Copies of this chain bind each other. A is one copy, B any other.
Amino acid sequence: MKIESVDLFYFSMPQVLDIGDGSQDMLLVRMTDSAGTVAWGECEAAPLVSIASWICPMSHSACKPVAASVIGQRLDSVADIERIGTLVRDNSMDLLQADHTLSGIDMAMWDLLGKRLNEPVYKLLGYPKAYAKTPYASLLFADEAQQTMREARDLRKRGFRAVKFGWGPFGQTTVKADVDQLAAAREGLGPDGILLVDAGTVWSGDFAAAEMRVSALKQFGATWLEEPFVSGELDAYQRLSALAGPVKLAGGEGCHNVHQARHMIDYARIGYVQIDAGRIGGITPSKQVADYARSKGVTYVNHTFTSHLALSASIQPFAGIESDTICEYPVQPKALAYEATTEHLIPDADGHLRLSDAPGLGVTPNPQALRKYLVETEITVQGKVLYRTPKL
């Protein structure tokens, strides 16, 4: 079979707020093969820019639009998916945005192959079984430590055993204020709750500030400290990692290729590698990172802040690794992100999340619900329309 057509759809909430919520807009990829099978994928963030990278005129032989390496390609096997990914990376080497665009394309290829072979994606990835994951709820540290405590307690009552607190006032003022926040979070979660802490790169360029929080993180039993620095600061990560055990460092959400994720494992010495399949180039490179992480004793975790289509795609790469139990789960997505799909991945009564066994990604977009969020877009170059929002 061949990839016959690919359509990109840009959706958005009527109003996008200036807050750290990645569920406010969305770029969906619809792929159709020559037999008429339809499949879907999703790219993380900046829909207009990824659309431009899909259809832009060629700059030179290593800076082609992503579409040039996808449309008309044969797609019959996992090897074809890998081949097409390599083609995109080679032909669009100097097009920085290409990795994000490829992400949704790659997901759609896996969805397509799964639907054609009547298998869920995790089986095509070589996993005999998809293990249940423990979803963690992610929220901001409250302005007052007492409020952080109440929110942690509420989430436990709602069935979340693992909670990630981050950003907000954390790291912004005194060590004492941060110690109070960590104490409050632990109190609210109870002794057996899994406490995850996200520093949101607040100590970038300031190792000493990070170092001063280590003993409190140990005292209140944080499982991981996420992004103390920006990803590139491999040396600082490595130094902090040596000090922080048994609290492990977590990072990697910004990685847009496998190499960067390996650097986080090999040089930054993180204990948890957080991969967004919507950024790193899709399911294929995510699975490569999961394999590499396992070989190095590092735990894989998805990074997901968007729809349940992206959630399914981001869990498939480590679905079959029994020991990697934690997964990120968007707890309060905007209406767009939730309504986007017909099926949803809902934690069961014991708080566990399970992938669907339906063919492909097992989660399909709901065009009827999505239509009201469609962002009509048109790109014209030298009088020729290169992109116009397709019919949904």
Contacts and interface: CB of A to CB of B under 8 A. Distances in A.
Contact of A52 (B49, B233, B254): B49
Interface string A257-279: 11110110011000000000001
Contacts of A308: none
A137 to B, nearest CB: 19
A63 B44 CA distance: 10
Nearest to A383: B376
A59 B16 CA distance: 7
A36 interface: no
> Which of A230, A262, A379 lies at the interface centre, i.e. has the most chain B CB atoms within 10 A of its CB?
A379
Interface in A13-60: 16-22, 24-25, 44-49, 51-53, 56-60
A180 to B, nearest CB: 26
Contacts of A52: 48-49, 51-53, 379
A interface, by DSSP: helix, strand, loop or mixed?
loop
Contacts of A56: 46-49
Interface stretch (A1-9, A96-104, A147-155, A322-330): A96-104
A85 to B, nearest CB: 14
B60 A22 contact: yes
A59 B22 contact: yes
A230 B230 CA distance: 22
Interface in A217-256: 230-235, 254, 256
A209 interface: no
A380 B51 CA distance: 13
11 contacts: A16-B59, A25-B57, A45-B63, A46-B56, A46-B97, A49-B97, A52-B379, A94-B254, A96-B96, A230-B259, A233-B259
Interface of A: 12, 16-22, 24-25, 44-49, 51-53, 56-63, 93-97, 99-100, 230-235, 254, 256-260, 262-263, 266-267, 279, 375-383
